């Protein structure tokens, strides 16, 4: 073997030795490097270590406090939803025949399936609360004003995505409660100005059916995750670009700030742990019950809601009707347009009476509607719940004081028997 052949091999060995030595270097990414996750050439060619160190050296303004935690909580809950959602999708079957049995299987047969499902359900509730709290903080702190108006718009779009996530996910258990709630909400949307066509396309049939379930599932697990992912990245980039909005009177030039690591990360860690523990507790203590399987021909005796937004929707529909629903949606749209109108740098609440009034109306209204809507357990009659076309095709109108015709009831014999037993 001549020298020219020996040379590359020695160089290769020398490099390997250098990589091995680097892997035991007590650097920021030592563990990843030791485990081989950052292999020598990758580590050498990409400045990951530098980027990581730069991130840790990042300093946040000193006015960043606990009240800024809601955005982080929302993101954490989003991650929980993604993880639990992926786990649920291993077992869930999106068809009218299999959806309900697959939920039963997840809850009663899959190890810790009950926990995964209830974490998903409760995270879906908490994320709405955290997101609205985050939004309210931004709104009342006037953080939506230039130059951050585009990020406000992205935030509103993220709210819309989260609402769509919940709305599409709500039907997936395919039980009586979810089926008839979605029927009622879609029916209301179809009556609302401009939104009607949107509801018909979503329903995909004259009644909520397998076509609707397929559409909702596709939106829930394919379309919306990509939309959320893109919007989140954009949202974070804009936060980094414009930094967190300062409160009135903040002296930015004199502010040395607080280090991201470890101070802010520790605070985030504490908040994250509390949020996770609370979500686990809610999941373990208050599991969502499983209703009867969805039956398009029989109304349930009661509606049990398991999502904040459903409570709000039922509150709007039952107490304010289609126009109340439409006007509240319109109020949400005015929030989107607000930064285009309200461009003065004024942050103090007393100098922004109109904006504060709109904000109070929206956030206060949301809170009141939630509380009111949570009390709704009654079911609208079958005729009211169906579009005209479907009513003509499927459901005969029972005479007042008479029961619905049992030929449309799947459990007429059971009802008979119960009465006979009595």
Residue 292 is a binding residue for other proteins (CB under 8 A): yes
Contacting range for other proteins; rule: CB under 8 A; set: 10-18, 53-61, 226-234, 283-291: 283-291
Nearer to other proteins, 11 or 403 (CB): 403
Structural tokens at position 280: 């686990």
Q: Which of 285, 348, 388, 401 binds other proteins (CB under 8 A)?
A: 285
Bridge partners, residue 263, by sequence: none
Binding to other proteins (CB under 8 A): which residues in 251-270? 262-263, 266-267, 269-270
Phi and psi, residue 138, nearest 5° = -60, -40
Nearer to other proteins, 12 or 286 (CB): 286
Nearer to other proteins, 283 or 355 (CB): 283
Residue 280 is a binding residue for other proteins (CB under 8 A): yes
Distances (CA, A) of 229 to 51, 75, 226, 233, 418: 22, 11, 5, 6, 52
Handedness of CA 103, 100, 414, 298 (dihedral sign): positive
Residue 79 is a binding residue for other proteins (CB under 8 A): no
Residue 290 is a binding residue for other proteins (CB under 8 A): yes
Angle among Cα 253, 256, 258 to the nearest 5 degrees reads 140
- Residue identified by tokens 């930064």 is 339
Residue 276 is a binding residue for other proteins (CB under 8 A): yes
Residue 114 is a binding residue for other proteins (CB under 8 A): yes
CB-neighbour burial class of residue 97 (10 A; exposed 0-12, middle 13-18, buried 19+): exposed
Structural tokens at position 34: 């030791």
Q: Which of 42, 46, 218, 274 binds other proteins (CB under 8 A)?
A: 274
Q: How many residues bind other proteins (CB under 8 A)?
A: 40
| Least distance CB 418 / other proteins (angstroms) | 8
Nearer to other proteins, 34 or 261 (CB): 261
Residue 273 is a binding residue for other proteins (CB under 8 A): yes
Half-sphere exposure in the Cβ direction for 353 (13 Å, CA) = 0
Residue 103 is a binding residue for other proteins (CB under 8 A): yes
Contacting range for other proteins; rule: CB under 8 A; set: 86-94, 105-113, 196-204, 221-229: 105-113
The torsion angle over the Cα atoms of residues 244, 245, 246 and 251, rounded to 10 degrees, is 80
Residue 233 is a binding residue for other proteins (CB under 8 A): no
Nearer to other proteins, 209 or 263 (CB): 263
Note whether 178 and 290 are within 8 A (CB).
no
Residue 352 is a binding residue for other proteins (CB under 8 A): no
Angle among Cα 16, 18, 24 to the nearest 5 degrees reads 105
Distances (CA, A) of 166 to 105, 159, 184, 281: 22, 11, 16, 21
Residue 107 is a binding residue for other proteins (CB under 8 A): yes
Estimate to the nearest angstrom the gap between the alpha carbon of 45 and the chain centroid.
38
Name, in order, each residue with C-beta under 8 angstroms of 201's C-beta and a sequence gap of 6 or more.
none
Nearer to other proteins, 102 or 188 (CB): 102
Query: Binding mask 122-151 vs other proteins (x if CB under 8 A, - otherwise)?
Result: ------------------------------
Which residue ranges make up the site for other proteins (CB under 8 A)? Answer: 101, 103-108, 114-115, 262-263, 266-267, 269-270, 273-274, 276-277, 280-281, 284-285, 287, 289-292, 402-403, 405-407, 412, 416-418, 420-422
């Amino acid at each position: 073997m001549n020298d020219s052949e020996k040379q590359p091999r020695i160089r290769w060995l020398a490099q390997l030795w250098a990589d091995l030595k680097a892997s035991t270097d007590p650097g920021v990414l030592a563990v990843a490097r030791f485990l081989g996750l950052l292999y020598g050439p990758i580590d050498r060619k990409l400045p990951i270590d530098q980027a990581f160190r730069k991130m840790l050296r990042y300093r946040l303004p000193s006015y960043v406090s606990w009240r800024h935690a809601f955005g982080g909580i929302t993101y954490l809950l989003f991650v929980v939803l993604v993880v639990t959602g992926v786990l649920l999708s291993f077992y869930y079957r999106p068809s009218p025949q299999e959806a309900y049995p697959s939920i039963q299987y997840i809850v009663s047969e899959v190890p810790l399936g009950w926990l995964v499902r209830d974490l998903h359900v409760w995270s879906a509730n908490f994320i709405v609360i955290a997101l609205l709290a985050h939004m309210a903080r931004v709104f009342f702190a006037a953080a939506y004003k230039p130059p951050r108006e585009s990020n406000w718009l992205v935030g509103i779009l993220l709210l819309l995505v989260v609402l769509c996530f919940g709305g599409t996910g709500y039907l997936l258990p395919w039980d009586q409660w979810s089926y008839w709630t979605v029927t009622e909400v879609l029916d209301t949307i179809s009556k609302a100005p401009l939104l009607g066509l949107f509801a018909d396309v979503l329903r995909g049939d004259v009644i909520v059916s397998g076509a609707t379930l397929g559409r909702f599932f596709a939106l829930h697990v394919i379309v919306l995750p990509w939309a959320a992912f893109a919007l989140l990245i954009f949202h974070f980039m804009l936060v980094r670009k414009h930094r967190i909005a300062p409160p009135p009177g903040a002296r930015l030039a004199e502010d040395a700030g607080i280090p991201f690591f470890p101070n802010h990360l520790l605070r985030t860690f504490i908040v994250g742990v509390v949020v996770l523990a609370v979500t686990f507790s809610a999941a373990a203590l208050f599991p969502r019950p499983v209703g009867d399987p969805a039956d398009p021909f029989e109304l349930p005796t009661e509606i049990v809601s398991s999502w904040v937004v459903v409570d709000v929707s039922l509150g709007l529909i039952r107490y304010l009707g289609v126009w109340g629903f439409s006007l509240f949606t319109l109020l949400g749209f005015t929030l989107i347009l607000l930064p285009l109108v309200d461009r003065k740098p004024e942050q103090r609440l007393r100098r922004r009476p109109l904006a504060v009034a709109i904000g109070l109306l929206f956030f206060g209204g949301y809170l009141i509607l939630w509380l009111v809507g949570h009390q709704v357990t009654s079911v609208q009659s079958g005729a009211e719940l169906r579009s005209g076309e479907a009513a003509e095709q499927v459901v005969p109108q029972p005479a007042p004081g008479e029961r619905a015709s049992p030929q449309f009831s799947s459990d007429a014999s059971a009802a008979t028997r119960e009465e006979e037993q009595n």
